[in-house]
């Protein structure tokens, strides 16, 4: 590293750490990568997103930092990895199909050989003709027996390889789920949400966005601990997925925030769906098995917006977000729509 490069890196470091402390960001290498990039000024879109977050909340939560890192710092590499994985999946699928066909053909061929060997043995046993015929039959029998043995070994090898291919396919599917599903709640993650939004945008699909934010979630964590908070998140995710199962998919949007994409329903129906989900949540309770402590009042605030023809998905998401803040401003535990 040149003297200038070292000086520049030191300067950026001295700016990044105080900002992390100021905005209550854990000073770990994972989050430092975000704030180092921010202070270096090499990613203008990232800086705009960070500035907007700080201006709005006064801090930059771990969840928001994770979202920013996901969106701006590792998005490209994940796209490349996705592309690579897709090619591998296609290759594995083709190999698997080929193996299935080969195993089937090999089994059929082995049955034919086995039958032929039996017939040759009978012919040799019953033959009463000359020595030349006996020799020909003997050679045919030996060749068939050798081929049968080789085929059996090949079948075993192919079967083993097919098992390995099946295992690889299973692992690839698990990896795919890890890339698109939230590890804690099991529902789809923000990355999957962004991808679906992009697909709907390309297809110009009429869709409604429902955003739900658990009310006073920080109080749960502070009073009962993070383990209890995790239990609340998992329970809320499960109930939201159940409420939305006939309408659309649920995503963990970040922290205590969830989102649902509901295609092909009217604005009024989307509002009604959100209200049913809200009513389901307010009846929930969670008990800590170790301490016996119980949370009886789990509620959430909801924002709803529906897409108009040709509307950009970012505008739609922004309106749903505004509706959510309206709901919080009205005392929480309610659903607020936001028309265009």
Q: How buried is 197 (Cβ within 10 angstroms: 0-12 exposed, 13-18 middle, 19+ buried)?
A: buried
DSSP characters for 214-261?
Answer: ETTHHHHHHHH-HHHHHHHHHHHHHHHHHHHTTT-EEEEEETTEEEEE
Computed from CA positions of residues 212, 215, 221, 222, in that sequence, does the dihedral angle turn out positive or negative? Answer: positive
Among candidates 37, 112, 41, which has minimal Cα distance to 74?
37
Separation CA 107–CA 102 (nearest Å): 8
Among candidates 192, 241, 224, 240, which has minimal Cα distance to 291?
224
Separation CA 51–CA 45 (nearest Å): 10
End-to-end CA distance of the chain: 53
Separation CA 181–CA 277 (nearest Å): 21
Distances (CA, A) of 89 to 81, 86, 161, 196: 12, 5, 16, 21
Separation CA 307–CA 209 (nearest Å): 8
Cite the active site residues: 256
Q: What b/e readout covers 168-194, taking b as 16+ CB neighbours within 10 angstroms? A: bbeebeeeeeeebbbeebebbbbbbbb
């Amino acid at each position: 590293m040149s003297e200038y490069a070292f000086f520049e890196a030191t300067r950026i470091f001295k700016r990044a750490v105080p900002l992390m402390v100021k905005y209550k960001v854990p000073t770990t290498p994972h989050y430092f990568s975000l704030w180092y990039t921010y202070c270096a000024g090499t990613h203008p879109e990232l800086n705009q997103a960070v500035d907007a977050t700080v201006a709005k909340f006064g801090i930059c939560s771990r969840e928001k930092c994770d979202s920013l890192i996901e969106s701006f710092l590792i998005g490209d590499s994940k796209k490349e990895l996705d592309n690579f994985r897709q090619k591998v999946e296609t290759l594995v699928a083709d190999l698997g199909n080929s193996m299935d066909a080969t195993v089937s053909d090999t089994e059929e061929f082995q049955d034919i050989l086995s039958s032929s060997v039996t017939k040759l043995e009978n012919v040799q046993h019953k033959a009463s003709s000359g020595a030349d015929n006996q020799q020909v039959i003997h050679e045919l029998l030996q060749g068939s027996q050798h081929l049968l043995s080789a085929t059996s070994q090949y079948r075993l090898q192919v079967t083993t390889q097919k098992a390995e291919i099946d295992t690889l396919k299973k692992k690839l599917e698990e990896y795919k789920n890890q890339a698109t599903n939230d590890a804690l709640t099991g529902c789809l993650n923000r990355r999957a949400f962004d991808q679906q939004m992009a697909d709907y945008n390309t297809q110009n699909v009429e869709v409604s966005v429902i955003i739900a934010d658990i009310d006073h979630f920080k109080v749960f964590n502070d009073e009962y601990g993070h383990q209890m908070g995790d239990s609340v998140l998992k329970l809320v995710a499960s109930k939201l997925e159940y409420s939305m199962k006939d309408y659309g998919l649920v995503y963990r949007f970040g922290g205590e925030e969830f989102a649902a994409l509901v295609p092909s329903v009217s604005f009024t129906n989307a509002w009604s769906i959100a209200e049913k989900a809200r009513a389901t949540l307010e009846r929930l309770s969670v008990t800590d098995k170790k301490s016996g402590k119980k949370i009886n009042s789990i509620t959430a605030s909801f924002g709803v917006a529906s897409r108009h023809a040709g509307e950009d998905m970012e505008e739609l998401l922004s309106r749903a977000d505004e509706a959510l803040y309206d709901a919080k401003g009205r005392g929480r535990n309610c659903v607020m729509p936001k028309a265009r």
